[in-house]
Amino acid sequence: MPKRKGITVSRQIMDSQRSHPEATGELTGLLNDLIVAGKIISSEVNMAGLADILGQSGQINVQGEQVQKLDDFANLTIKRRMEQCGYVCIMGSEEDEGTIPVLDGYEGKYTLAFDPLDGSSNIDVNVSIGTIFSIHRRKSHGKQGELDDLLQKGREQVAAGYIIYGSSTMLVYTVGEGVQGFTLDPSVGEFFLSHPDIKIPERAKYYSINEAYSRYWYDSTTAYIEHLKDLDESGERSYSLRYIGSLVADFHRNLINGGVFVYPRDRKSPDKPGKLRLLYEAAPLAFLVEQAGGRAIDDQGRNILDVEPQDLHQRVPLIIGSKEEVNLAERFFTGKV
Ligand code: P6P
């Protein structure tokens, strides 16, 4: 008797749709098309060492960063598939300065913001990288979507998730009914439910921050990290540092094992509130972590999901992870300690 493979992501999405009689199936279609793009990217990422696709394309993206060839491939794969899926009216990508239209006649009722391949500077050294996505319902009523359709608060998200290309390829997503994790079985090209209803541990003594910037930290950041590094009541070292430098990988580890990830603003770039982007990095991960029982705030203690976007590539300081760990961080960043 062949071993049962379990529930596929398509079946899970359909079951979720069935529990909403008013659902039209468009979100289901959107997610399924996005998942196909993820499978194509996964195949390319996993062969990168063999194909001539490693390394830099020679272009510079809107963030002023070297575009890796796989970045390009991932960005084009998602744009080409989603511009004609019929479920999306406008897109925003970390790799594109402006908004991305869909093909005429294929306008749908959702918007898609995405980071096609986050952590791509790690591609050549085989560190886990990922695609992050955020989906809103459009507000405008014309044919093509408008920028304002993308500039919605994270709390208004309809769905969000990431695909992490690591030792295995996993899809982790939410439609507001908890967080589900699926693992790709490349032998059949299907994502199977492997982590049902993920909950992040309320506390865990792991913190993720790039300590190389400590000379630029504001006092609140320094005080918080020094506190974590203090000995605990029994004189033992308390917290451990885990930092990969790939947001999706750091977030995924903390989601499963617990911990807190911090990317604060610093004196090195006083005009920039940190490095990470609100629309297609912080907000989708904040939706996921809150659905998994965690928290995500900025360095003023504001819930990331309540931050009003003003710009497609808006940055935001990010403190995200286990509820108790974020609560502790919040006390330091908001001067309560
Ligand atoms: P730093 C990768 O370039 C990225 O955008 C995120 O994936 C990651 O968390 C962050 O930058 C790492 O930044 O400044 O520590 O190298």
Give the separation between CA 86 and CA 168, rounded to whole angstroms: 30
Counting the structural domains of the chain, the total is: 2
Of 166, 195, 224, which closes a domain? 195
Pocket flag, ligand 1, residue 266 (CB < 6 Å): no
Pocket flag, ligand 1, residue 252 (CB < 6 Å): no
Decide if 308 is inside a domain.
yes
Under the banding of pLDDT at 50, 70 and 90, the label for residue 2 is: low
171, 226: one domain: no
Query: Which atom of ligand 1 is found nearest the CA of 212?
Result: 15
Pocket flag, ligand 1, residue 136 (CB < 6 Å): no
The reported pLDDT for the residue numbered 213 is: 97
Pocket flag, ligand 1, residue 122 (CB < 6 Å): no
252, 311: one domain: yes
3 pLDDT exceeds 70?
Answer: no
**Contact present, 68 and 120 (Cβ < 8 Å):** yes
Identify which of 19, 135, 154 has the alpha carbon closest to the alpha carbon of residue 85. Answer: 135
Helix (H, G, I), strand (E, B) or coil at 249: helix
What's the CA-to-centroid distance between 318 and ligand 1, angstroms? 12
Decide if 2 is inside a domain.
no
What's the CA-to-centroid distance between 300 and ligand 1, angstroms? 21
Average pLDDT over all residues of the chain? 94
Over residues 11-18, mean pLDDT: 90
Helices (H), 83-159: 147-150
The reported pLDDT for the residue numbered 233 is: 84
Identify which of 85, 87, 89 has the alpha carbon closest to the alpha carbon of residue 77. Answer: 85
Q: Which domain holds residue 93?
A: 9-195
The reported pLDDT for the residue numbered 17 is: 87
Pocket flag, ligand 1, residue 268 (CB < 6 Å): no
CATH number for the domain including 177?
3.30.540.10
Residue nearest to atom 10 of ligand 1 (CA): 245
Pocket flag, ligand 1, residue 246 (CB < 6 Å): yes
**Contact present, 304 and 296 (Cβ < 8 Å):** yes
Burial-class residue 26 by CB neighbours within 10 Å (0-12, 13-18, 19+): middle
137, 56: one domain: yes
Decide if 1 is inside a domain.
no
Pocket flag, ligand 1, residue 171 (CB < 6 Å): no
Decide if 158 is inside a domain.
yes
Decide if 87 is inside a domain.
yes
Under the banding of pLDDT at 50, 70 and 90, the label for residue 293 is: very high
- What the block records as the tokens of 12 is 């899970």
CATH number for the domain including 279?
3.40.190.80
Pocket flag, ligand 1, residue 121 (CB < 6 Å): yes
285 pLDDT exceeds 80?
Answer: yes
Under the banding of pLDDT at 50, 70 and 90, the label for residue 82 is: very high
Residue 317: what are its φ and ψ, rounded to 5°?
-65, 140
Give the separation between CA 180 and CA 197, rounded to whole angstroms: 5
The string of pLDDT tens digits covering residues 263-282 is: 999 999 999 999 999 999 99
The reported pLDDT for the residue numbered 330 is: 98
164, 222: one domain: no
What is the share, in percent, of the chain residues with pLDDT greater than 90? 82
Pocket flag, ligand 1, residue 119 (CB < 6 Å): yes
Which residues sit opposite 269 in a β-bridge?
none
Under the banding of pLDDT at 50, 70 and 90, the label for residue 84 is: very high
262, 117: one domain: no
**Candidate from 66-70, 148-152, 203-207, 250-254 with smallest mean pLDDT:** 66-70
Identify which of 137, 129, 131, 118 has the alpha carbon closest to the alpha carbon of residue 175. Answer: 137
The reported pLDDT for the residue numbered 121 is: 83
108, 217: one domain: no
Under the banding of pLDDT at 50, 70 and 90, the label for residue 1 is: low
Over residues 217-224, mean pLDDT: 97
The string of pLDDT tens digits covering residues 130-182 is: 999 999 999 999 999 999 999 999 999 999 999 999 999 999 999 999 999 99
61 pLDDT exceeds 70?
Answer: yes
Give the separation between CA 187 and CA 137, rounded to whole angstroms: 35
135, 254: one domain: no
Over residues 2-6, mean pLDDT: 71
Decide if 281 is inside a domain.
yes
Best residue among 61, 114, 118 to mutate for probing ligand 1, ranked by most atoms within 8 Å of CB: 118
89, 186: one domain: yes
The reported pLDDT for the residue numbered 47 is: 83
Best residue among 71, 246, 280, 313 to mutate for probing ligand 1, ranked by most atoms within 8 Å of CB: 246
167, 271: one domain: no
Under the banding of pLDDT at 50, 70 and 90, the label for residue 66 is: confident
113, 234: one domain: no
More confident site: 187 or 2? 187
Residue nearest to atom 5 of ligand 1 (CA): 119
Decide if 3 is inside a domain.
no
What's the CA-to-centroid distance between 20 and ligand 1, angstroms? 38
Under the banding of pLDDT at 50, 70 and 90, the label for residue 68 is: confident
Taking phi over 0 as left and psi of -120 to 50 as alpha, with beta for the rest, 55 belongs to left
186, 210: one domain: no
Residue nearest to atom 9 of ligand 1 (CA): 247
Helices (H), the chain: 9-18, 26-47, 69-82, 147-150, 219-229, 247-257, 283-291, 323-333
Pocket flag, ligand 1, residue 247 (CB < 6 Å): yes
What's the CA-to-centroid distance between 142 and ligand 1, angstroms? 37
Pairing mode of beta strands 260-263, 206-208: parallel
13 pLDDT exceeds 80?
Answer: yes
Under the banding of pLDDT at 50, 70 and 90, the label for residue 226 is: very high
Identify which of 305, 306, 296 has the alpha carbon closest to the alpha carbon of residue 327. Answer: 296
Pocket flag, ligand 1, residue 108 (CB < 6 Å): no
What predicted TM-score, i.e. pTM, was given to this entire model? 0.95
Decide if 201 is inside a domain.
no
Which residues sit opposite 181 in a β-bridge?
172, 195
**Candidate from 13-22, 170-179, 205-214, 328-337 with smallest mean pLDDT:** 13-22
Which residues sit opposite 112 in a β-bridge?
91, 135
What's the CA-to-centroid distance between 229 and ligand 1, angstroms? 22
52 pLDDT exceeds 80?
Answer: no
Residue nearest to atom 14 of ligand 1 (CA): 210
Residues in the chain: 337
In eight-state DSSP terms, residue 248 is H
Of 155, 174, 195, which closes a domain? 195
Give the separation between CA 94 and CA 281, rounded to whole angstroms: 9
What's the CA-to-centroid distance between 24 and ligand 1, angstroms? 38
Over residues 120-126, mean pLDDT: 85
157, 237: one domain: no
Of 145, 173, 195, which closes a domain? 195
